[in-house]
Amino acid sequence: MPIDHRLSEEYEALRATVAEFARDVIAPKIGGFYEQEEFPYEIVREMGRMGLFGLPFPEEYGGMGGDYFALCIALEELARVDSSVAITLEAGVSLGAMPVFRFGTEEQKREWLPRLCSGEMLGAFGLTEPDCGSDAGGTRTTARLDEAAGQWVINGTKSFITNSGTDITGLVTVTAVTGRTDDGRPLISSIMVPSGTPGFTVSKKYSKVGWNASDTRELSFTDCRVPAANLLGEMGRGYAQFLRILDEGRIAIAALATGLAQGCVDESLEYARSREAFGRPIGANQAIQFKLADMEMRAHTSRLTWRDAASRLVHGEPFKKEAAVAKLYSSEIAVTNAREATQIHGGYGFMNEYPVARMWRDAKILEIGEGTSEVQRMLIARELGLTG
């Protein structure tokens, strides 16, 4: 029996719905938000009403009863039009809500997930630090348990944290050193910190090259106290937990990158058909045709990588290598397609009024966030059995 790579009716209906929303609601408005570096609250609220933030979560927690594959379908279609909105959803789900779902107690899930799934509240994940990027095991933020008060006392700084300072941010989960092993290695735990907790300071927005309509901040904790019950998962298992979260998140980033790459094809194809030079559309020139053919080939292949990884995830199969392959390939071809799209548009590609200029600015971070390209190559090599 032949293998069918087509989407099921349910997945295709979701894809079409999100595509229409992206085209009709996001596309006409997002340029203004992007240039003003404003967070698009109304768009995010509409995404919440559509159930996008609850896609992979069970209905008992306020979710839509879908899966991670469904989330990635939505991310690709959003990023096909705009990456700021797509990363807001990706971070809100895979980094904000998913740790609570994967590792939280039943009480924690029922307290936080309904609001996170509805989009009423955004969650964030505080991992990266100013002196600790790819070396997440070098975490310097500390959390000391004050047993008498029944509280964690957190001190440290987190950087480049998405969704951490919006008006609807309600929760940041941070990794912190909570002890040491007998041989001196740090024991890292994950602790939930509600927004507004005394001692928790959110800095002003970063001035970024891209993703300008998304929220990214530095966070600092100075004797910040939260209840001992805010420990997420097992004490000392925070490092292992975040590795699992990042493995999943890499598939989501791959889907987002695929959307950006396909969006570059969409915009360039339309431009090549309408822009005339030397008496005919530039799309009649073989040089432009070959560029577009290569761009479509890369986007199509990228889609296959994330769908393979996501399928393995939802079927409970090993997916670490496939997630790294998808993230590495998709992010790098997104950068390539954005560069080629800008070239096809010529001088107009350097003007912010054209979506490809925004895509060009948004693409580079995909090779850095949630594991750099170098880290992905390291992970793939390890999965192939290579060490050292």
**Structural domain spans, the chain:** 9-121, 124-236, 240-383
Mean of the per-residue pLDDT values of the chain: 96
Q: What is the pLDDT of residues 13-58, one digit of tens each?
A: 999 999 999 999 999 999 999 999 999 999 999 999 999 999 999 9
CATH of 124-236, one of 2.120.10.30, 1.10.260.40, 2.40.110.10, 2.60.40.1930: 2.40.110.10
Geometric angle at alpha carbon 116, from 14 and 38, rounded to 5°: 85
For 226, other C-beta atoms within 10 Å of its C-beta total 22
Other beta carbons within 10 Å of 219: 24
Which tokens in the block code for residue 387?
């060490």
Per-residue pLDDT tens digits for 177-204: 999 988 889 999 999 999 999 999 999 9
Tokens of 219: 């966070």
Please enumerate in sequence order all residues whose Cβ is within 8 A of that of 382, keeping only pairs 6 or more positions apart, or say none.
none
DSSP 95: I
Cα distances (Å, whole numbers) of residue 296 to 44, 113, 259, 276, 357: 29, 38, 12, 22, 19
The pLDDT of residue 357 is above 70: yes
The percentage of the chain sitting over the pLDDT mark of 70, rounded to a whole number, equals 98
With cut-offs at 50, 70 and 90, classify the pLDDT of residue 341: very high
Name the burial class of residue 180, with classes exposed (0-12), middle (13-18) and buried (19+) by CB atoms within 10 angstroms of its CB.
exposed
Q: Does the pLDDT value for residue 136 go beyond 70?
A: no
Task: For the domain made up of 240-383, give the CATH fold.
Answer: Butyryl-CoA Dehydrogenase, subunit A; domain 3 (1.20.140)
Q: Enter the tokens of residue 74.
A: 């939505």
Q: 281 is written with which tokens?
A: 């559309």
Note if 76 is an active site residue.
no
Phi, psi of 10 (to 5 degrees): -65, -45
Q: Which two tokens stand for residue 364?
A: 């580079």
pLDDT higher at 246 or 138 = 246
- Average pLDDT over every residue of 300-307: 98
Q: Over 70: is that where the pLDDT of 3 sits?
A: no
Say how many residues make up the chain.
388
For residue 382, what is the enclosing H or E element? helix 373-383
Q: Which of 50, 57, 27 is nearest to 358 (CA)?
A: 27
Q: Give this prediction's pTM.
A: 0.95
HSE at residue 12, side-chain half, CA atoms within 13 A, is: 5
Q: How far apart are CA 225 and CA 85, in angstroms?
A: 32
One fold for both 124-236 and 240-383? no
Could you report the per-residue pLDDT of 250-286, keeping only the tens digit for each? 999 999 999 999 999 999 999 999 999 999 999 999 9
Contact 382, 324 (CB under 8 A): no
Q: Which of 340, 370, 374, 383 is catalytic?
A: 370
Does domain 9-121 match CATH 1.10.540.10? yes
3-state DSSP call for residue 351? coil
pLDDT reported for residue 1: 46
Per-residue pLDDT reduced to its tens digit, 47-62: 999 999 999 999 999 9
d(CA 208, CA 217): 11
In angstroms, the CA 137 to CA 139 distance is 5
Angle between helices 83-90 and 41-50 (to 10 degrees): 50
Tell me the average pLDDT across 78-104. Answer: 98
Q: Give strand pairing partners of 219.
A: 158, 202
Predicted pLDDT of residue 239: 87
